Amino acid sequence: MSAKILMSKLINQLIHSLTVLPGVGKKTAARMAYYLLEKEKHKGLNLSETLKTCIESIDHCRVCHNLTELPICELCSNTTRDPSTLCIVESPSDLISIEQTRFFKGYYFVLMGRLSPLDNITPKTLPIDLLLKRCQDSSINEIIIATNPTIEGEATAQYLIDLLKQNPQLKLSRLAHGIPMGGEIEYLDTQTIARAMELRTQFEEELI
Amino acid sequence: MSAKILMSKLINQLIHSLTVLPGVGKKTAARMAYYLLEKEKHKGLNLSETLKTCIESIDHCRVCHNLTELPICELCSNTTRDPSTLCIVESPSDLISIEQTRFFKGYYFVLMGRLSPLDNITPKTLPIDLLLKRCQDSSINEIIIATNPTIEGEATAQYLIDLLKQNPQLKLSRLAHGIPMGGEIEYLDTQTIARAMELRTQFEEELI
């Protein structure tokens, strides 16, 4: 009798199902399964229900491509925001991080990824058609490309710049690069320091 | 408009539900939620269903207290095993590890925990009544206490020894302590080396 048969077939199935979660291997999945079955049956049932409801009701917003249970998400339906700026981000988490600054008042477009040929993510995989449609909005003056400063993020930004600069009425911008606030020069990577040096701002300019 | 409102209420609920999993904080939960909703809807639904079925059908085996979907688990129902030895382990994973050695042919009892007063796990929380009932089986000659050699595991073993030695017909034993096979002395902790030295076996004895 093998150890596999010894374990309840259902528990085995649950452990296998849990390994779909990113970063969860078989050992972690087993720990999770036993924890839910032994200690948190009620919360486990709640997780099962919420997961089902979410997967069945969540889809992309028709305007910004973010995930939402509404046809058009709350942010895109909010008419009090500034329609002249559109910020393109890679992920919903990036959107939330920017939104938490309370600095940006415009609208967003969420790519839900970045170009990465090694992972088979090409312009065809990303919602480029929807983005181009969104950029046709005549009230938009400026598009801020806020992809991450990683190799893939930079490549995506360059691709979008090439695509969007065909419309000369649109001002294209990127988030500034430099030393993070509160960061210590000693601990920063050379690329960041070099870039901060290259893009240095005059004292007068900053004080205005 | 706060960032929390910006995020879909349902997604927020899902992130919150996922934090019930051990070792999963809010950031990991968010990554899991977006991953399931964006990339693995089908497997996510499968996880939801398996979790529900498991929680609704899995309970403790009436004989060994292990988790199973049957009233009496497959191992306890197996009449070909050796009824004279009973091995007490802390968790189903410990049972599987011992079973994988194919060395032990007896039956098991799973405590589903260990004594740990700091976590409010006392003899009343563990299935001691069921264990005592199990030990009344007249075919049992030897009980192997295989709790882990941690402080809590040792305390649990001592508690069980005190409890079970009241029956003089039962032989009580523990797993041997010493240097793990393939282990290098240089990298072992002093306690293990001291214990291995104390419990050293004569060459003749080992060769028999």
pLDDT tens track for A91-104: 998 998 888 888 89
pLDDT at residue B1, rounded to an integer: 43
Cβ of A54 within 8 Å of Cβ of B22? The answer is no
In this structure, the answer to whether residues B95 and B162 fall within a common structural domain is yes
Task: Check residue A186 and report its DSSP letter.
Answer: G
User: From CA B154, how far away is CA B152, in angstroms rounded?
Assistant: 5
Instruction: Decide if A68 is inside a domain.
Output: no
The reply to whether B182 touches chain A by the CB within 8 Å rule is no
Closest listed residue to residue B36, CA positions, set B27, B47, B26: B47
User: Residue B102 — left, alpha, or beta (φ > 0 → left; ψ -120 to 50 → alpha)?
Assistant: left
Q: Three-state SS string across A119-179, please? A: HCECCCCCCHHHHHHHHCCCCCCEEEECCCCCHHHHHHHHHHHHHHCCCCCCEEEECCCCC
Number of domains in chain B: 3
pLDDT at residue A158, rounded to an integer: 93
Domain membership of residue A183 as a residue range: 179-208
In this structure, the answer to whether residues B170 and B186 fall within a common structural domain is no
In this structure, the answer to whether residues A134 and A205 fall within a common structural domain is no
Instruction: Decide if B131 is inside a domain.
Output: yes
Instruction: Decide if B65 is inside a domain.
Output: no
In this structure, the answer to whether residues B184 and B147 fall within a common structural domain is no
- Chain B closest-CA separation from residue A124 CA (Å): 16
Instruction: Decide if B199 is inside a domain.
Output: yes
Is there a contact between B48 and A55 (Cβ–Cβ < 8 Å)? yes
Which residue do the tokens 């960041």 mark? A192
Average pLDDT over every residue of B132-160: 92
B198 pLDDT band (50/70/90 cuts)?
confident
Beta bridge partners of B142: B85, B171
The reply to whether B75 touches chain A by the CB within 8 Å rule is yes
The reply to whether A116 touches chain B by the CB within 8 Å rule is no
Please name the residues in contact with A134: beta carbons below 8 A apart, sequence gap of 6 or more. A63, A64, A86, A109
Tens-digit pLDDT profile for residues B15-60: 999 999 999 999 999 999 999 999 899 999 999 999 999 999 999 9
Instruction: Tell me whether residue B119 is exposed, middle or buried, using C-beta atoms within 10 angstroms of its C-beta: 0 to 12, 13 to 18, 19 or more.
Output: exposed
A99-108, B61-70, B188-197: the lowest-pLDDT one: B188-197
Domain of B102, CATH number, reads 3.40.1360.10
Chain A: residue nearest B41 by CA?
A: A55
Q: Which of A1, A15, A21, A93 to substitute to test the interface with B, most B CBs within 10 Å?
A: A21
pLDDT at residue A1, rounded to an integer: 43
Please name the residues in contact with B74: beta carbons below 8 A apart, sequence gap of 6 or more. A5, A6, A8, B68
pLDDT at residue A18, rounded to an integer: 96
Instruction: Decide if B125 is inside a domain.
Output: yes
Cβ of A36 within 8 Å of Cβ of B55? The answer is yes
SS3 of residue B85 by DSSP: strand
- Chain A closest-CA separation from residue B87 CA (Å): 15
Is there a contact between A130 and A159 (Cβ–Cβ < 8 Å)? no
**How many residue pairs bridge chain A and chain B with CB atoms within 8 Å of each other?**
176
In this structure, the answer to whether residues B169 and B89 fall within a common structural domain is yes
Residues of chain A with pLDDT under 70: 1-6, 204-208
In this structure, the answer to whether residues A87 and A44 fall within a common structural domain is no
pLDDT at residue B3, rounded to an integer: 47
Residue B187's CB: how many other CB atoms inside 10 A? 6
Of residues A192 and B206, which shows the higher confidence score?
Answer: A192
Backbone phi and psi for residue A35, each to the nearest 5 degrees, phi listed first: -60, -50
Cβ of A52 within 8 Å of Cβ of B54? The answer is no
Q: How many residues does chain B have?
A: 208
In this structure, the answer to whether residues A125 and A37 fall within a common structural domain is no
- Which residues in chain A (28-67) have CB-CB distances under 8 A to chain B? 28, 30-38, 40-41, 43-58, 67
In this structure, the answer to whether residues A79 and A31 fall within a common structural domain is no
Q: How many residues does chain A have?
A: 208
B6 pLDDT band (50/70/90 cuts)?
low
Backbone phi and psi for residue B173, each to the nearest 5 degrees, phi listed first: -140, 170
In this structure, the answer to whether residues A38 and A103 fall within a common structural domain is no
In this structure, the answer to whether residues B105 and B162 fall within a common structural domain is yes
pLDDT at residue A102, rounded to an integer: 86
pLDDT at residue A8, rounded to an integer: 85
Amino acid at A5: I
Which residue do the tokens 């925001």 mark? A81
Instruction: Decide if A62 is inside a domain.
Output: no
User: From CA B98, how far away is CA B103, in angstroms rounded?
Assistant: 8
Instruction: Decide if B31 is inside a domain.
Output: yes
In this structure, the answer to whether residues A44 and A100 fall within a common structural domain is no
List the structure tokens of B85.
Answer: 């030895």
Please name the residues in contact with B186: beta carbons below 8 A apart, sequence gap of 6 or more. none
List the structure tokens of B170.
Answer: 């039962």
Please name the residues in contact with A44: beta carbons below 8 A apart, sequence gap of 6 or more. A36, A37, B20, B51, B55
Beta bridge partners of B109: B88
In this structure, the answer to whether residues A166 and A208 fall within a common structural domain is no
List the structure tokens of B149.
Answer: 């050699």
Please name the residues in contact with B95: beta carbons below 8 A apart, sequence gap of 6 or more. A6, B66, B89, B108, B110
Work out the mean pLDDT of chain B and round it to a whole number: 89
- Identify all chain B residues contacting A99, using CB atoms and an 8 Å cutoff: 3, 6
Domain of A46, CATH number, reads 1.10.8.420
Instruction: Decide if B63 is inside a domain.
Output: no
Q: Is B101 a residue whose pLDDT tops 80?
A: yes
